Every structure is written in structure tokens, then in C-alpha cells.
Homo-oligomer: A and B are copies of this chain.
């Protein structure tokens, strides 16, 4: 504090204060507080009492510098508003729970330059590992991660060349699978609704896989629309209405995420349209929210819980020097959930 508005200028406590208060050396205090090395019962108690009485909080900055160990894992993801990422975070946290490691998040908003900045920022804290969403990064980011000398796990996607280790699903394949399921169900006039996100490579890959599989069956997307910003549920509604007014012959709508899919679903039901008979619907992600909709939306699980858990495990294993049971590329298989909006 610059201004002395608090009565006592609260100089932060150090080991020395505790050491003086308990009559032992700083080193002994340090040992007690970290449960390291042998310390007699009585000294231990003396020290703990003093520390508690003073309200001592160790200084990890100094500790980290001296020990060259920082028990932080940098987790770099595009956003928190996508539902998917908070869930990945939860499973990472859960998996790290009984290790010494702690996740720290950084957000990129899908902007590669911001990712680069965030990575630089986080690496400057010398974390024990990095978990980063996606395989697409600036050259500088890749160089930083390579040079960091710590485990790096790229998550969510496996369509590409990982820097170190990748854990995820193939979004191309996910797109193909959904296309095949739709065609197999007999739908023929397919519309696509998604986010306007040139930088969301996973959405792009799903779209590519989707159109590719359609093409292979001699079919093409007949209409498409992209949005950005605003309430996804509302956008789903509006885009569905707009698309059907424009292309009334469509018999299937593939949404790039569940939220806009839910909006579309609500809209179509209000219009009295028979789902999945007259029009079929599918989304992507398998968000929990879907459980409460009037009809269960067809979707595809992106395996985000497993992804988070495995990524965290890999970091934890490698940090503790163990051989990880996972290889350099862990591909999980998304499963279609047919729900009630896709004929079988």
C-alpha cells in the first residue's frame, strides 16, 4: 500500500517472524510447514502454534524460486461461455484434486494472438505443465511451448500434428459420422446452422467432415446459415425460422452446437412441425441442459470429461516422473446420441 490508511503498515510476515516467535531456525519452520524431513513432536507443535498465532501465510513466490518447483498447470482455452470448456475445466480440476498440482486458466477468445500472449504470460510463471485447447497455434506459440521444457497437452482435437501430446476426438470424423447417421435415416435435404467462427477450427473440421461424407453419398448441403454473438437459444430460433422460410423443402437441420439446436427445436415444436418425421434435428456436444427439453435432441458427445481427466493425468504422471500410460496421441471416439429428433 502506498497510502498509510491502515494503522499498522502491515509488513508481510516471513519465516523469520515465525522462527523468532518459536525460537527455532527458519529452516526448521520451513520443514514443519512443508512436512518435510524429521522434526520432533514438540518443535513441530511450537512452530505450528506460532505460525497460527501470527497468521503466517507462506510465500510461494520465494518458495518456487528456491525450489524451482511450481505446482501450477496452465490451462488455456478459448472461452468460458461455451459450456464445454467449464466442463473440461471441472474434470481437469477433479483429476488434479489429489495431486499437488493446481490448474490456472487463461482465455484466448479464439484469437491466436491472444493465445500467444496468454501463453507467454503463463509460461513466465514457470508452470509444471500446459494444457491448451486445439492444435492450431501461432509459430511463436509453438516455439514457446516446445522450449518450455514441460509437458504440453493439446486437447479437444486430434486432427493435426501435436507439439507434444494430443488428447481429443477427431472432429472431421465426428462430422462424417453424423452425416452418415442422417443419410442412413433417410433424410435428403439437409441444412446447416452454425457459428460464424473462422477461428473455431474444431467447428470447421466438423463441417468439413460433414460435407465430405455427404458428398461421398452424392448429397450436398442445401442451405446454410451462420451467426455470431447473442443468446444462442434465440439465434437458433431465428435462424431456423429464416432458413425454413427460405428453403421450405429441408427435412433435416444440423446445428453446430446444442444450444442453437435447442432453440430450433423449440421453434419447430411451436410451429406444430413433426419432429423427427417431417424434419429431423441434431446438434453437437451433449450438454446437460438438453435433458430438460420437451424432446431429447440428437447430439454427439465430445468426450470432454474424459479429455480433461486424461490430459490432467498425463501432466500429473509426467510431472512426478512416472511413465504415463498414455501415448502421444489419444483419440477418443464420440458416440451419437440419437435422442428423439433423429429417425432410426
Q: Is the CB of B61 within 8 A of A65?
A: yes
Interface 0/1 of A317-328, CB less than 8 Å to B: 010010000000
A80-B86 contact in complex given A266-B294, A292-B263, C-beta closer than 8 Å:
yes
* A121 to B: closest C-beta gap in Å: 7
Copies of this chain, tallied across the complex: 2
Contact B289 A233 (CB under 8 A): yes
Q: Pick out which of these stretches binds chain B: A102-110, A181-189, A197-205.
A: A102-110
Interface size class of A (residues with CB under 8 A): 35 or more
Contact of A59 among B2, B62, B124, B232 (CB under 8 A): B124
Whether A231 is near chain B, meaning CB under 8 Å from some CB there, is: yes
Contact B90 A126, beta carbon cutoff 8 Å: no
Q: Residues 278-294 of chain A: 1 if any B CB is under 8 Å from the residue's CB, otherwise 0?
A: 00000000001111111
A147 near B55 (CB under 8 angstroms)?
yes
Q: A228 near B: Cβ within 8 Å? A: no
Return the contact of A233 from the options B60, B150, B293 (Cβ within 8 A): B293
Asked whether any CB of chain B lies closer than 8 Å to the CB of A273, the reply is no
A-B contact pairs, 24 of them (CB 8 A): A1-B149, A2-B321, A10-B147, A11-B149, A12-B149, A55-B147, A57-B120, A57-B123, A57-B147, A61-B125, A65-B65, A80-B86, A80-B90, A81-B86, A93-B107, A105-B105, A231-B291, A233-B289, A233-B291, A233-B292, A237-B292, A262-B292, A263-B292, A266-B294
